[in-house]
Amino acid sequence: MMAPSISQTHRAVRQLPRQYFLDWWNSIEKATYRRQTPNIKADLSKLPELEVPRKQLRFLLAARTNHGDFATYHERFHHHNTILECPCGREKTPTYIFYCRKIPPALRARLTPEPEKAIARYLSEQYEVFLRIAEVYFNRICRAY
């Protein structure tokens, strides 16, 4: 058997970072993240949502990762001077924006028949719907964010 050529070795080395990344992604615990956005796959290529302006992208990333202006986040890190409720009275959660009564009816996302699946879809492949709602919410309803 012949030794691999330089080209074969080079190709194999180029694939190592991708394989290491996939191995790492599959090994970490991310139950909450997967439950909320089950359709997101690990990939090193540029995702289409990264083309969104940073001001809007922050809302999507906060909702996907649970690291944002949410009641549980503030309670976990003992932030005492924060507002834990939405102006409509609901507790702030990563998905509360879908239930806010102050969102104009024409912009609200359809959550029936299965709200969790619909929200997961709006946070992954149909993220434009979430961004449209978030834009109105954070510019007109809850400006503190």
| 99 touches 90 (CB < 8 A) | yes
Give yes or no for a cis peptide into 113 (omega within 30° of 0).
Answer: yes
| 123 touches 111 (CB < 8 A) | no
> What local confidence, expressed as pLDDT, does residue 144 receive?
62
| 42 touches 21 (CB < 8 A) | yes
How far, in Å, CA of 118 to CA of 46, rounded? 24
> What local confidence, expressed as pLDDT, does residue 38 receive?
63
| 110 touches 118 (CB < 8 A) | yes
Nearest CA-CA partner of 94 in 31, 32, 29:
32
Q: pLDDT (tens digit, 9 = 90+) per residue, 26-48?
A: 787 666 666 666 666 777 778 88
> What local confidence, expressed as pLDDT, does residue 108 receive?
92
Q: Which residues of the chain have pLDDT under 50?
A: none
Largest CA distance in the chain: 72
Listed in sequence order, the DSSP H helices in the chain are 6-27, 31-36, 54-65, 71-76, 115-123, 127-136
Beta-bridged to residue 85, according to DSSP, are 91
> What local confidence, expressed as pLDDT, does residue 39 receive?
66
Nearest CA-CA partner of 45 in 18, 26, 68, 70:
18
